[in-house]
Amino acid sequence: MLSLLAFIHPFLATVAEGGAEPSGAPEIPNVVTLIEHGSHGPAVEFLARFQNVIFAFAVAIVISLLARAASRNRTMVPGPLQNLFEMVVEGLSNFFAGILGPEAKRFTPFLGTLFIYIWCMNMFGLIPGMMSPTGGPNGINTTIALAICVFFYVQYAGLKKLGIMGYIDHMAGSPRSVIQWVLVPLNFPIHLIGELAKPMSLSLRLFGNITGEDVLLAAFLGLGVTATAFLHIPVGLPLHVPFIFLALLTGTIQALVFTLLSTVYFSMMVAEQEEHH
C-alpha cells in the first residue's frame, strides 16, 4: 500500500496544484495516466490519446457481461441479478410507453440501452482508477457520437414511416401554398440543422455537467491532499466524499435528461408522421 501511495503521490500533487492539463483544470488520475507516468512509447501514447474510447468500450463490455449473466439461466423465480435487470427493463419500458404510446415497442430497445449506457459511463468515473468517458479532455467526442446515433435513428424512423417523398416533404416544412414553396430552399436547410442541433445540444449538456463533476471532485481531492502539509497528518482529508453523492445524483439526472429528450424527439417525429397520414 505504501509503495502504491508513493507511486501515485506525484499525481495527487498535480491534482492539488491544479492538474497537468494546459487549461489548468484539475483531473483525478486513472489507470491510463498512471501507466503514462510510469512508462513511455507508442502504445502508451495510443492509450493516452484514446482513453475515453477505451473506457467507453470497457463500460460496454461490463454491461454486456452482466446482461449475459442475467439472461443466460432465466427461471420463473428470478435470482437477484435477473430480478434487477427485469425491474430496470420493465421500468424503462413503462416510462417510454407513457411518452411514445404504441410506438414505444419499436424504440424501447434503443432508448433503454442509451440510458443504461450513459448512466454506467457517468458512474464509471467514481470507481478508483477509472474515468467517465462522457467527461474529461476528450469526453465531448463520446457525447457527440451518442448524439449522432440519436440523430440518424430519428431520421431513419421518419424515412421508414413516411417514405422518401414524404420525408422530403416533411423536411421542407410540408409546403402547401405558393409562398411556402418559394421558401423551401430556405426552410429545408434550416429544418435539417434544427434536427441535428437537438441531439447536439444534449451532447454539450451531458459533457459539460460530467466534466464539471470530475473537476469538482478533483479540486476537493486536491484540497484534502494539500491539508496534509498544514495539519501534519499522514493522510489527506476526504473533502471530496460528499460530492461523490452529488455526482451519483447529477450523473443519473443527466442520463435521464439525455434519454428523455431523445424520446421526445422520437415522439415529435411519430406525432408529425401520424398528423401527416
Using 50, 70 and 90 to split pLDDT, how confident is the model at 186?
confident
Instruction: pLDDT band for 16, please (50, 70, 90 cuts).
Output: very low
pLDDT of residue 276: 47
> Can you give the pLDDT at residue 184?
80
**Sorting pLDDT into bands at 50, 70 and 90, what band is 9?**
very low
pLDDT of 19-76, one tens digit each?
444 445 777 888 888 888 778 788 888 888 899 999 999 999 999 999 998 888 777 7
Q: What is the pLDDT of residues 188-224, one digit of tens each?
A: 888 888 888 888 898 999 999 999 999 989 888 888 8
pLDDT surpasses 80 at 275: no
Mean pLDDT of the chain: 82
Label residue 268 by pLDDT band (50, 70, 90).
confident
What pLDDT sits at residue 160? 84
Contact 90, 96 (CB under 8 A): no
- pLDDT top residue among 120 and 225: 120
Furthest CA-CA distance within the chain: 80
- Residue 5 predicted with pLDDT over 60: no
Confidence of residue 15 (pLDDT cuts 50, 70, 90): very low
Evaluate if residue 3 carries a pLDDT over 90: no
Predicted confidence at residue 271, as pLDDT, reads: 62
**Cβ count within 10 A of residue 29:** 21
- What's the pLDDT at 94? 93
Burial of 165 (0-12, 13-18, 19+ CB in 10 A): exposed
User: How confident is residue 257, by pLDDT bands cut at 50, 70 and 90?
Assistant: very high
User: Which distant-in-sequence residues (6+ apart) come within 8 Å of 273 by Cβ?
Assistant: 158, 161, 162, 170
Predicted local confidence at residue 263, as pLDDT: 93
How many CA atoms are closer than 13 Å to the CA of 243, on its beta-carbon side? 16
Confidence of residue 13 (pLDDT cuts 50, 70, 90): very low
Whose grid coordinates read 430480478?
A: 83
Please give the model's pTM, rounded to 2 decimal places: 0.84
Phi, psi of 61 (to 5 degrees): -65, -45
- Structure-model confidence comparison of residues 26 and 143, the more confident one: 143
**Which pLDDT value is given to residue 2?**
32
At how many degrees (to 10) do helices 80-100 and 51-72 cross?
110
3-state secondary structure the chain: CHHHHHHHHHHHHHHHHCCCCCCCCCCCCCHHHHHHHHCCCHHHHHHHHCHHHHHHHHHHHHHHHHHHHHHHCCCCCCCHHHHHHHHHHHHHHHHHHHHHHHHHHHHHHHHHHHHHHHHHHHHHCCCCCCCCCCCCCCHHHHHHHHHHHHHHHHHHHHHHHHHHHHHHHHHCCCCCCHHHHHCHHHHHHHHHHHHHHHHHHHHHHHHHHHHHHHHHHHHHHHHHHHHHHHHCCCCCCCCCHHHHHHHHHHHHHHHHHHHHHHHHHHHHHHHHHHHHC
pLDDT of amino acid 114? 96
C-alpha cell at 57: 468500450
* Residues near 202 by beta carbon (within 8 Å), at least 6 away in sequence: 143, 146, 147, 150, 257, 258, 261, 262
The amino acid at residue 160 is: K
pLDDT tens, residue by residue, 91-109: 999 999 999 888 888 899 9
